[in-house]
Amino acid sequence: MPDVRIKTPNLDAIFEKWKQSTVRKDKKKMEKQFGTKGAIFSLDAVSAAEYVKDTQKEAAIYFAIKKTVGVAPKGAEEKIVLAPRVVRETFYSFKGEGKLNKENWKGDEKVPTYETIQAVSCKKCSGKGYIEEKCKTCKGTGKIEENLTVLTGEEQKKENKPFSYPCGVCFGTGTSKVKCNDCEGHKSLFKYQILPVPFKTVVTGIPVLHSSALTKYEKEIERDLHQIIEEVEGIRFNDFKDLESKAEASLGYWNKNIKKTINSAGSDYKSHSKDKEAQITTQLYLFPMIQMFCETKRGSKFEIYSLGSANKFMIYSNF
Ligand SMILES: [Zn+2]
Ligand SMILES: [Zn+2]
């Protein structure tokens, strides 16, 4: 059985690392909190022995997952066509299908979507399909007026008599219906949308951290580990059962919070393993954490956290 023990960094090493990084960031504050009036400030005089009041050994578990999630379609396009053109288009439907695997899809990424077909009443003819115009044959009178020649009397005198009859084009109404050339008589136009195919998208590298120290840096640590996992040393495990059984021996210490944290990390890990859309992409890391409760010369309290082994660790502080 390989040795799973890991060496935790000692307090002086953690404190030293914190001192160096803090003085680089804010020397004035260091001087104000740790300096002596009238004396030249020296970093050497700031020691863990003097300012660390208490320590607590904790642990953190880290792994990363990749998750498949669907995205809402965006970038819709709209088309308005004449009724007979609708059937010439190829429509698609994804209703009740969920999200699609892009690898399996043959076709365009944006397609006309069946569910979006909608009738739009023609504006030009107000949805009637025709436009009423004055009848051209009777000029809107509804009547055809003609002259009738009548020969009158013994002399057969030619006389014109009016003769009118209903117009046969408009059936005497004076108006005629002309097919609307916008909707071609179909009363409506049809609109539909060309929508992106609802593909599943993959979100890679979601970091997951469970720490028994319950610091306010959880999110920060999670993000840092995700980026610089090689710069921190932890004990790696391939499965959670292994981690569970060896955690105490690996750390060389134990407490109730660590036990609780391992339990909750375990159920989280399990649910990610069962989730068909998720995939655990890293090994499991167990990190020793040291929590140091400090107080400055001026009486300000602050904390320093370390995460990692004596070889490679990161620090966080609320100084
Ligand atoms: Zn007419
Ligand atoms: Zn019309």
Write out pLDDT tens, residues 104-162: 889 888 999 999 999 999 999 999 999 999 999 999 999 999 999 999 999 999 999 99
Distance 142 CA to ligand 2 centre (A): 25
Check pLDDT > 90 for residue 55. Answer: yes
Task: Give the residue with greater pLDDT, 62 vs 204.
Answer: 62
Ligand 1 centroid distance, CA of 123 (Å): 26
Ligand of minimum distance to the alpha carbon of 184: 2
Average pLDDT, the chain: 90
Residue 139 Cα, ligand 1 centroid: separation in angstroms? 7
Average pLDDT for 270-276:
87
pLDDT in tens, 167-191: 999 999 999 999 999 999 999 999 9
Give the ligand with the smallest distance to the CA of 83.
Answer: 2
Ligand lying nearest the CA atom of residue 134: 1
173 alpha carbon, closest ligand: 1
SS percent in the chain: helix, strand, coil, step 5: 25, 35, 35
| pLDDT surpassing 70 at residue 73 | no
What is this structure's pTM? 0.61
What percent of the chain is predicted at pLDDT more than 90?
Answer: 64
pLDDT at 199: 85
Contact status, residue 281 vs residue 292, Cβ threshold 8 Å: no
pLDDT for 96 beyond 90: no
What local confidence, expressed as pLDDT, does residue 43 receive?
84
pLDDT tier at 71, thresholds 50, 70, 90 = low
Q: What is the pLDDT of residue 5?
A: 83
Ligand nearest to the CA of 170: 1
Q: Which pLDDT does position 141 carry in this prediction? A: 95
pLDDT at 114: 96
Average pLDDT of span 273-284? 85
Q: What is the mean pLDDT of residues 54-61?
A: 94
- Which pLDDT band holds residue 35 (cuts at 50, 70, 90)? confident
Distance 192 CA to ligand 2 centre (A): 18
CA distance 179 to 194: 30
* pLDDT at 10 > cutoff 60: yes
Q: Residue 186: nearest ligand to its CA?
A: 2
Distance between Cα 110 and ligand 2 center (Å): 30
Task: Tell me the average pLDDT across 225-252.
Answer: 91
- Torsion sign (Cα): 128, 133, 136, 140: positive
Phi/psi region, residue 14 (left: phi>0; alpha: psi -120 to 50; beta: rest), is alpha
Q: How far is the CA of 61 from the centre of ligand 1 (A)?
A: 91
Distance from C-alpha of 59 to C-alpha of 181, rounded to nearest angstrom: 77
pLDDT of residue 1: 42
CA R_g for the chain: 43
Residue 285 near residue 59 (C-beta atoms within 8 A) = no
For residue 178, how far is its CA from the centre of ligand 1 (angstroms)?
A: 13
Residues having C-beta closer than 5 Å to ion ligand 1? 135, 137-138, 167, 169-170
Residue 131 CA to ligand 2 center (angstroms) comes to 8
